[in-house]
A = this chain, B = another copy of it.
Amino acid sequence: MARPVEQVKRASNQLHAAENKPGDISDAALVEMYRQMVMVRQFDRRCVALQRAGRMGTYPPCEGQEACQVGVANALRPQDFLFPTYRDSGAVMLHGVPMERLMLYWNGRPEGAVIPDDVNVFPMAVPIATQLPHAMGAAWAAKLRGVDQVALGLFGDGASSEGDFHVAMNFAGVFHVPAVFFCQNNQYAISVPLSRQTASETIAQKAQAYGFEGVRVDGCDVIAVYRAVKAAVEKAAQGGGPTLIEALTYRYGAHTTSDDPTKYRTAEETDTWRKRDPIPRLQEQLRAWGLWDDEQENACLTEADALVSSAIAAMEAAPTPPPEKMFDHIYKEPTAKLQRQRDELLAMLERRKQAELEQGAAARTEGGKQ
């Protein structure tokens, strides 16, 4: 059921051979997935840079995992429901959340949490593995309501240790729901390597405990990811029940901008994985198949840069939200107590403004005197 990792790696190395040009994916779709990977990487790098410059909060980069992000998003249909983690900004934006919304979110701005009404993406899960029961439940609702919709939950290798992973998988198996559980096995949970996470050989094989299929794919190969997810989504939509997919991947950067990966990973290891970088790999393939040239590459980079830059501009231009918004959306209707506290906050802010004005005036007077 699950292929050993070496086999996966070997298979990957032949992927750019001409005879491997996929018959099941259109040229346009291949090119589009490439563009998307480039865009996601740009987004990711700029977020890290913004954080370093103090213009963004803690950010969890996904560089290295773009094949997963893009493969997953492209295999989903618009009506399918995505349950992401903090590391899935790529998949989230490709499934429909505007880029600047994500940037606002990572900048600690409540309006960044707003997902457009017609976009089936759930708020990114921060507590590990808790999104998996949600995905199971959403898939179950689709089944019970007879709606053609699949729910896909993203999670990491570390998440497979939490109780909620087990519980979600087990429920999904029992109720045979149209769910896909997609594990980005990037080999680490912060600093903890997979060998300390589980004694099981693969994560895919854990599906056997739940009575459904587990598959393993090369998570650096967007085509492989896309195919595996598409097959799982189709199977789910046709009543075939859930699938667990384990994608072997790697994050090139830190766990988050607060992390220092040199404490727990060797440069050699990172280099090895860099050699499997999903972006150059697909680029090589596209070139080999006559679908890509330097001009397109340059245009693509420029376009991605423009997109990301304009999202940053939009994010930075967005007016600061009124802080009293913190009292909205706690209950459908604000309670009397919350209204009182809201007034207290507003009064305090008003006094603060007055005090600042007075201080300013005093300072100006002082200044005038000198």
185-200 of chain A: CB within 8 A of chain B: 196-200
**A257 contacts B by Cβ under 8 Å:** no
- Per-residue interface assignment for chain A, residues 111 to 126, with 1 indicating a CB less than 8 Å from any chain B CB and 0 otherwise: 0000000000000000
Considering only CB atoms, which chain B residue lies closest to A195 in the complex? B174
**A227 contacts B by Cβ under 8 Å:** no
**A17 contacts B by Cβ under 8 Å:** no
* CB <8 Å contact, A196 and B174: yes
- Per-residue interface assignment for chain A, residues 199 to 211, with 1 indicating a CB less than 8 Å from any chain B CB and 0 otherwise: 1110001101111
Q: A199-B211, A208-B209 are in contact. Are A167 and B161 (CB under 8 A)?
A: yes
**A79 contacts B by Cβ under 8 Å:** no
* CB <8 Å contact, B205 and A208: yes
* CB <8 Å contact, A167 and B163: yes
In Å, the complex CA distance between A135 and B212 comes to 29
Determine chain A's interface SS by DSSP, over half rule. helix
* CB <8 Å contact, A176 and B163: no
**A35 contacts B by Cβ under 8 Å:** no
Neighbouring B residues of A170 by C-beta, 8 Å: 161, 198-199
* CB <8 Å contact, A199 and B210: yes
In Å, the complex CA distance between A65 and B102 comes to 56
In Å, the complex CA distance between A308 and B49 comes to 75
In Å, the complex CA distance between A345 and B191 comes to 53
Neighbouring B residues of A205 by C-beta, 8 Å: 208-209
**A162 contacts B by Cβ under 8 Å:** yes
Considering only CB atoms, which chain B residue lies closest to A173 in the complex? B199
Nearest Cβ in chain B — how far from A134, in angstroms? 15
In Å, the complex CA distance between A162 and B176 comes to 18
**A95 contacts B by Cβ under 8 Å:** no
Neighbouring B residues of A305 by C-beta, 8 Å: none
Name, among A164, A166, A198, A208, the residue most crowded by chain B CB atoms within 10 Å (CB to CB). Answer: A166
Neighbouring B residues of A163 by C-beta, 8 Å: 162-164, 166-167
In Å, the complex CA distance between A173 and B206 comes to 13
Considering only CB atoms, which chain B residue lies closest to A167 in the complex? B163
- Per-residue interface assignment for chain A, residues 300 to 311, with 1 indicating a CB less than 8 Å from any chain B CB and 0 otherwise: 000000000000
Neighbouring B residues of A167 by C-beta, 8 Å: 161-163, 166
**A165 contacts B by Cβ under 8 Å:** yes
* CB <8 Å contact, B210 and A208: no
Name, among A164, A165, A174, the residue most crowded by chain B CB atoms within 10 Å (CB to CB). Answer: A174
In Å, the complex CA distance between A95 and B195 comes to 36
* CB <8 Å contact, A209 and B209: yes
201-260 of chain A: CB within 8 A of chain B: 201, 205-206, 208-212
Name, among A162, A170, A210, A212, the residue most crowded by chain B CB atoms within 10 Å (CB to CB). Answer: A170
Q: A163-B162, A166-B165, A167-B161 are in contact. Are A200 and B210 (CB under 8 A)?
A: yes
Considering only CB atoms, which chain B residue lies closest to A206 in the complex? B209
Neighbouring B residues of A201 by C-beta, 8 Å: 211
Neighbouring B residues of A173 by C-beta, 8 Å: 198-200
Considering only CB atoms, which chain B residue lies closest to A161 in the complex? B170
In Å, the complex CA distance between A196 and B211 comes to 12
Given contacts A163-B163, A166-B167, 17 further A-B contacts (CB under 8 A): A161-B170, A162-B163, A163-B166, A163-B167, A170-B199, A173-B198, A174-B196, A174-B198, A176-B199, A198-B209, A198-B210, A198-B211, A199-B210, A200-B209, A205-B209, A206-B209, A209-B209
Q: Could you list 11 examples of A-B contacts with CB < 8 Å?
A: A161-B170, A163-B166, A163-B167, A170-B198, A170-B199, A174-B198, A198-B209, A199-B212, A205-B208, A206-B208, A206-B209
